[in-house]
């Protein structure tokens, strides 16, 4: 009998010679192994200790991406970045240095990670490449060093949860609100150790940016990854070649899901996650009027061109409230460049925003700075655990809510 499989199970089966049923531990072949400035120095240390002769199996399938601190603003990070640069040069490994941007975005945008492929990296949100129907796995530095050396990792095949999102919503609601709705429904362990496969009309209509936002929040529900089968429009946006389009994987009819969840987004209103827990999601009306001190627009969840344009359209011709700090970090250098050339950065500048270098920024204590004790921040990021982005309190919301909040100095219901 032919075994029917979910999207992730099919990718795993295509990358392993062993039986791939949920719970099985297999050796998974890896198409792309990456490390960042966070974790990267430890990967190098492991490789030089364990495999000093030939530390890297295939330099063409191996990358470093510096995105935590761009450029380094602590000696520790500066030292670590330089350890990685030296190693990469010695072994002919490509680096996207501090001028590149967020690695998980770059590997999709530059075609290093394509639909149906496997990628690993020292980034717990590397799984957001599920947005293009690829299997990305965030891992620690031992796993990644082993992947550099062998192009393989062990992998416990997860169960798959189907999350079907139906209905439609209108501006000012955004894909971030849809993602927060999903996260609030599931909670911090709602997808624990499982994979999520998103489907339904509300998901299928999302462009690449919206899909990234959705897939980027699966880690916060405890999930291994959240995958979406790419639409033709997304394949076009990614400029996927004809040959590679044949590698696109879709689930089998009747694929086995451990659970099926349906979420209706009809009439969805903007959502906000309360400080300390990304899953503590409320309707914005419950916290509207809460005074804020700072606003951060960016991160691997909402640092795309479309996200920043949403904010710029609101901020154009208006001013950030006196005493409020608005910080914007584009995800990649290309996004930054496009915003600059199209005059969008200029609109943000005129409104009073600080635009910092491309990269992760807030979640990694990076170039965007941190919050002080008592400071209240609203961020478009994905993680607001206590102490994560500084000593202050961080709310999570969409770029639209963030932009309005910057103008009024309080959590503001969009007009």
Partner 1 sequence: MHITGRACFIKNASGALIDNIDTDMIFHNAHLHVTDIAQMAQYAFGNLSGWEKFPESASNYDILVVGGNFGAGSSRQQAVDCFIASGIKAILAESFAPIYFRNAINSGMAVLTLEGAQEGARQTLEEIPDGAELSVNLKTGEVAIGGKKGVISCPPIPPVLLSIIEAGGLFEFAKKTSK
**Which residues of this protein are in contact with partner 1, per CB under 8 A?**
23, 25, 27, 38-39, 41-42, 45-46, 50, 68, 74-77, 79-80, 122-124, 138-143, 145-146, 150, 152, 154, 156, 158, 188-189, 192-193, 219-220, 222-224, 277, 364-365, 383, 385-388
Beta pairing partners, 138: 121
Q: Which long-range contacts (CB under 8 A, 24 or more apart) does 320-324 make?
A: 320/295, 320/351, 320/352, 320/353, 320/406, 320/407, 321/406, 321/407, 321/408, 321/409, 323/293, 323/409, 324/292, 324/293, 324/294, 324/295, 324/406, 324/409
Q: Which residues pair with 379 in a beta bridge?
A: 296, 396
C-beta of 374: minimal distance to partner 1 in Å? Answer: 17
For partner 1, give the closer residue by CB, 349 or 385: 385
Shortest distance (Å) from residue 139 CB to partner 1:
6
For residue 96, the number of C-alpha atoms closer than 13 Å in the C-beta half-sphere is 26
Minimum distance from residue 381 beta carbon to partner 1 (Å): 13
Between 234 and 396, whose beta carbon lies closer to partner 1?
A: 396
Give the 3-state secondary structure of residue 76. helix
What is the smallest separation between the CB atom of 327 and partner 1, expressed in angstroms? 18
Nearer to partner 1, 146 or 336 (CB): 146
CA gap 309, 15 in Å, rounded? 38
Residue 155 or 395 with smaller CB distance to partner 1: 155
* DSSP one-letter string for 121-172: ES-TTGGGGGGGT-EEEE--HHHHHHHHHHSEEEEEPPPEEEEEEES---TT
Min dist CB 187 to partner 1, Å, is 9
At its nearest, how many Å lie between partner 1 and the CB of residue 18? Answer: 10
Closer Cβ to partner 1, 191 or 315, answer by number: 191
Query: Cβ 350 to partner 1, closest distance in Å?
Result: 33
Which position has the token pair 């921040």?
377
The SS3 call for residue 103 is helix
Nearer to partner 1, 41 or 396 (CB): 41
**Comparison of 26 and 312: residue with beta carbon closer to partner 1:** 26
Strand duo 354-355 + 393-396: pairing: unpaired
Chain centre distance of CA 326:
21
């Amino acid at each position: 009998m032919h075994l029917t499989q979910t999207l992730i199970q099919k990718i795993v089966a295509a990358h392993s010679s062993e039986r791939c049923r949920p719970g099985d531990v297999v050796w998974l072949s890896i198409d792309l192994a990456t490390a960042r400035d966070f974790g990267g120095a430890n990967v190098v240390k492991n490789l030089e200790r364990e495999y000093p002769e030939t530390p890297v199996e295939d330099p063409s399938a191996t990358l470093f991406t510096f995105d935590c601190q761009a450029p380094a603003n602590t000696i520790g990070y500066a030292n670590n970045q330089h350890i990685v640069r030296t190693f990469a040069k010695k072994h002919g490994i490509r680096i996207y240095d501090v001028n590149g941007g967020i690695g998980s975005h770059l590997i999709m945008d530059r075609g290093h990670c394509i639909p149906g492929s496997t990628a690993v990296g020292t980034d717990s949100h590397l799984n957001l490449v599920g947005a293009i129907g690829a299997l990305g796995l965030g891992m620690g530095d031992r796993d990644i060093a082993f992947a550099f050396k062998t192009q393989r990792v062990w992998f416990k095949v997860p169960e798959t949860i189907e999350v079907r999102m139906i209905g439609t919503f209108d501006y000012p609601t955004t894909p971030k609100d849809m993602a927060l709705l999903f996260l609030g429904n599931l909670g911090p362990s709602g997808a624990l150790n499982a994979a999520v496969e998103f489907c339904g009309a509300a998901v299928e209509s999302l462009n690449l940016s919206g899909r990234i936002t959705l897939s980027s929040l699966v880690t916060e529900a405890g999930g291994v990854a959240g995958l979406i089968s790419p639409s033709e429009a997304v394949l076009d946006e990614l400029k996927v070649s004809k040959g590679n389009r044949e590698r696109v994987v879709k689930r089998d009819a009747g694929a086995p899901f451990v659970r099926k969840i349906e979420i209706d987004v009809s009439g969805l209103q903007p959502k906000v996650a309360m400080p300390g827990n990304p899953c503590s999601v409320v309707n914005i009306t419950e916290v509207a009027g809460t005074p804020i001190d700072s606003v951060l627009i960016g991160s691997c969840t909402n640092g795309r061109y479309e996200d920043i344009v949403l904010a710029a359209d609101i901020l154009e011709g208006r001013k950030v409230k006196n005493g409020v700090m608005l910080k914007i970090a584009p995800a990649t250098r290309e996004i930054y460049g496009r915003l600059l050339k199209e005059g969008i950065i200029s609109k943000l500048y005129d409104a009073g925003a600080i635009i910092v270098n491309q990269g992760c920024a807030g979640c990694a204590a990076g170039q965007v700075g941190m919050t002080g004790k008592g400071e209240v921040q609203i961020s478009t990021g994905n993680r607001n655990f206590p102490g994560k982005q500084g000593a202050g309190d961080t709310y999570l919301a969409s770029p639209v809510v963030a932009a309005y909040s910057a103008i009024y100095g309080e959590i503001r219901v969009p007009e």
